[in-house]
């Protein structure tokens, strides 16, 4: 087998090995990647930035541990911005594997905010975490009527009516926007029912592979911003002024993309060489 | 009767929900909210059926020592441990230590690992699929490479590459996705109408 034929039909285990080595090296070598900010990310940041203290935003955290690497930094950056601006948060987790993760995420954000400012955000006053209920469509429709229909109690078992911040919050009319950070089709339901039926302004943060799906909704104005995958998370970390795991992760992402492009080139060189060899033999 | 009652219920519920959407009167809102209360309750019964079905199928595989039966055993063990720990009186429900431990030290790393493996399969698939075999394959390859390159700091080329990537996402990608979405939307409406009008009855089963 010639070298060209080997390049054409490379065992995929070599691809795996090169990718692992490249990723490990990229994470070890200290270098920084510049993160250009897209209009889609900036529009979400500016929207939150222009809210007044006391305004309410609904954070719908609809992802599971599988998508944590991409979406968790995004969520923490948004929570940081909201806490710093004293924006009140209603939070739900409509993925069956998400509620415990959402509780841990909000605890992390509270601890970081306390470490930075000395102020501890309190459940029921600064935020209300409602938890999980099955059948996302029905839950979104229910919350559009009244949060108390699907969530008579919050995640910690406290009746919603006894949470001070929920006293003036009935449904989506009382929140400024929904920011849906998701790895599931719950995003489609938020667009169709949250925005479509109840008209609540909506922005989304989704995994990299999901991102191109949602550009049509951005153009029609059904969503006012998209955070796409790790890059979206890195953009938001940069916008809120705390570059963290997403900005660091961009090193690995860039190196992985470079490796993929390299293999595409190798595969095509092999393909042309083999094809030329075949046509030469035929003549 | 066994066949016509469900069809009648679906017809009435479907017709009411369509009517309610366009007539947001106080009375219809009240019935709608009542229906929203009911829907999760019905859903929970469906979930229970799913649970029983999973347990039966898994147990049958273990009993008959079918192929990969140890995986079925792991499924049953996981199901039992979560159910017992979560439902134990005074155990703490979702916050029960066993549930939290299984979530943090089994569910979380296993899910993350499975998703992380995707990168390797994507790399391998792109190596094999992106070959300049035809005009269309070349276009696909170029689009993919340009969209990937927008993450790279390429000096003076960063702006033009970013602009090209944005054009790909906002023009051809958007047009194709929109066409698919409109097709899917029309399909959903047609299927929903067939179910509400009793033309599509496969949800009733074979009996």
The per-residue pLDDT for A80 is: 97
Q: Average pLDDT, whole number, for chain B?
A: 87
CA B101 → CA A67, A241, B71, B91, B173, distances in Å? 19, 34, 21, 13, 43
Least Cα distance to B86 among B74, B78, B75, B98 occurs for B98
The per-residue pLDDT for A158 is: 94
Residue B182 has pLDDT above 90, yes or no: yes
Answer yes or no: do B103 and A67 touch at CB < 8 A. no
Q: Min CA distance, B38 vs chain A (Å)?
A: 10
The per-residue pLDDT for B206 is: 65
User: How many of the other CB atoms lie within 10 Å of CB of B55?
Assistant: 16
Whole-model pTM: value is 0.87
B179 touches chain A (CB under 8 A): no
Who among A69, A257, A268 is closest to B148 (CB)? A257
Least Cα distance to A124 among A148, A88, A97 occurs for A88
Answer yes or no: do A259 and B151 touch at CB < 8 A. no
Residue B207 has pLDDT above 60, yes or no: no
The per-residue pLDDT for A196 is: 92
Answer yes or no: do B124 and A268 touch at CB < 8 A. no
Contacts of B170 in chain A (CB under 8 A): 215, 219
What does the DSSP 8-state code read for residue B104? I
Who among B107, B145, B173 is closest to A264 (CB)? B145
What does the DSSP 8-state code read for residue A95? S
- Cβ atoms of A255 and A24 within 8 Å: the answer is no
Whether this model's ipTM surpasses 0.90 comes out as: no
In chain B, positions 25-64, which contact chain A (CB-CB < 8 Å)? 29, 32-33, 36-37, 39-40, 43-44, 47
Who among B29, B119, B170 is closest to A256 (CB)? B119
Contacts of A68 in chain B (CB under 8 A): 108, 112
Residue B2 has pLDDT above 80, yes or no: no
Both tokens of A123, joined, read 């459940």
- What does each of the 283 residues of chain A score in pLDDT, given as a tens digit? 677 777 777 888 888 999 999 999 988 888 888 888 989 999 999 999 999 999 999 999 999 989 999 999 999 999 999 999 999 999 999 998 889 899 999 999 999 999 999 999 999 999 999 999 888 999 999 999 999 999 999 999 999 999 999 999 999 999 999 999 999 999 999 999 999 999 999 999 999 889 988 988 998 999 999 999 999 999 999 999 999 999 999 988 888 888 988 888 888 888 888 888 877 777 7
Answer yes or no: do B119 and A19 touch at CB < 8 A. yes
The per-residue pLDDT for B53 is: 94
Least confident residue range of A42-46, A104-108, B10-14, B127-131: B127-131
- Cβ atoms of A194 and A144 within 8 Å: the answer is yes
The per-residue pLDDT for A1 is: 66
- CA dihedral sign of residues B135, B138, B140, B142: negative
Q: Min CA distance, A85 vs chain B (Å)?
A: 30
The per-residue pLDDT for A206 is: 96
Residue B139 has pLDDT above 60, yes or no: yes
Both tokens of A262, joined, read 């390299």
The per-residue pLDDT for B94 is: 74
Residue to mutate among A12, A19, A65, with most B CBs inside 10 A, is A65
Residue B134 has pLDDT above 70, yes or no: yes
Cβ contacts from A onto B, under 8 A? 132
């Amino acid at each position: 087998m010639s070298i060209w034929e080997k390049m054409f039909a490379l065992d995929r285990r070599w691809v795996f090995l090169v990718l692992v080595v490249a990723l490990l090296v990229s994470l070890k070598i200290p270098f920084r990647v510049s993160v250009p900010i897209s209009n889609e990310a900036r529009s979400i940041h500016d929207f939150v930035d222009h809210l007044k203290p006391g305004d309410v935003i609904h954070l719908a955290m609809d992802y599971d541990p599988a998508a944590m690497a991409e979406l968790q930094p995004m969520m923490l950056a948004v929570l940081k911005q909201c806490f710093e601006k004293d924006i009140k948060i209603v939070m739900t987790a409509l993925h069956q594997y998400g509620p415990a993760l959402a509780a841990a995420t909000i605890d992390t954000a509270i601890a970081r905010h306390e470490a930075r400012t000395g102020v501890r955000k309190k459940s029921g006053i600064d935020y209300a975490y409602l938890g999980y209920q099955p059948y996302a469509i029905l839950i979104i429709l229910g919350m559009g009527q009244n949060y108390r229909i699907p969530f008579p109690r919050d995640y910690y078992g406290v009746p919603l009516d006894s949470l001070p911040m929920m006293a003036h919050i009935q449904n989506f009319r009382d929140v400024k926007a929904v920011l849906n950070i998701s790895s599931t089709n719950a995003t489609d339901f938020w667009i169709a029912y949250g925005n479509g039926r109840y008209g609540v302004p909506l922005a989304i943060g989704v995994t990299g592979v999901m991102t191109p799906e949602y550009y049509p909704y951005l153009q029609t104005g059904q969503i006012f911003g998209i955070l796409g995958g790790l890059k979206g998370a890195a953009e938001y970390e940069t916008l809120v002024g705390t570059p963290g795991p997403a900005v660091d992760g961009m090193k690995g992402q860039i190196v992985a993309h470079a490796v993929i492009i390299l293999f595409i080139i190798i595969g095509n060189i092999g393909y042309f060489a083999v094809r030329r060899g075949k046509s030469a033999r035929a003549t | 009767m066994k066949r016509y009652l469900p069809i009648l219920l679906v017809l009435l519920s479907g017709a009411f929900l369509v009517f309610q959407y366009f007539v947001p009167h106080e009375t219809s809102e009240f019935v709608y909210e009542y229906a929203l209360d009911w829907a999760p309750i019905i859903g929970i019964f469906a979930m229970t059926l799913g649970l029983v079905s999973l347990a039966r199928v898994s147990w049958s595989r273990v009993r008959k020592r079918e192929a990969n039966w140890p995986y079925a055993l792991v499924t049953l063990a996981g199901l039992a441990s979560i159910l017992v720990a979560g439902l134990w009186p005074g155990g703490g429900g979702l916050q029960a230590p066993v549930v939290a431990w299984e979530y943090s030290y089994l569910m979380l790393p296993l899910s993350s690992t499975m998703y992380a493996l995707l990168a390797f399969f994507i790399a391998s698939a792109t190596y094999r699929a992106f070959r300049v075999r035809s005009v269309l394959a070349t276009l696909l390859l170029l689009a993919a490479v340009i969209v990937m390159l927008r993450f790279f700091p390429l000096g003076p080329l960063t702006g033009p590459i970013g602009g090209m990537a944005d054009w790909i996402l906002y023009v051809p990608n958007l047009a194709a996705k929109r066409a698919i979405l409109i097709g899917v939307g029309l399909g959903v409406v047609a299927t929903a109408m067939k179910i509400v009008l009793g033309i599509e009855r496969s949800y009733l089963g074979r009996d």
